[in-house]
Amino acid sequence: MVHRLVVSYGQPDDPAAFDSYYRDTHTPLATQMPGLVRLTTGKPQSLDPSHPASYLVAELDFDSEQAMGAAFASEQGKATAKDVPRFATGGAVMTHYEVTEVHVSR
């Protein structure tokens, strides 16, 4: 079973500076967290223009909720969490959940 942390970043004050820092500094920190199985990012687009999308969404997968907790309790996890306010001028919302896969039959 996969446990997923989703980080939704709001519109930054300086998008180019955000992108550079996220790519060159924050991502290398995050990928050092023990137990991290997968990290994906994307820039979403809203289907409803009256509800703006997040600037960037990151999904971090772990084998379990306990593994996620241990990752954030580690020195690497603490450093990653402490780094967020340094670049996320538009804020960051974090949610997590147990992933349930739905099989599609055709």
So where are the chain's domains?
Answer: 3-98
Number of residues assigned to the chain = 106
Distance between CA atoms of residues 17 and 41, nearest Å: 17
pLDDT mean across residues, the chain: 96
* CATH code of domain 3-98: 3.30.70.100
- pLDDT (tens digit, 9 = 90+) per residue, 20-48? 999 999 999 999 999 999 999 999 999 99
Task: Read off the pLDDT band of 96 (50, 70, 90).
Answer: very high
**Banded pLDDT at 106 (limits 50, 70, 90):** confident
Bridge partners, 3 (sequence order): 62, 98
CA distance 36 to 69: 11
What number is the average pLDDT over the span 60-88?
97
pTM of the model: 0.92
- pLDDT at residue 1, rounded to an integer: 83
Q: What gap in Å lies between CA 81 and CA 30, rounded to an integer?
A: 9
- Residue pair 13/54 in contact by the 8 Å Cβ criterion: no
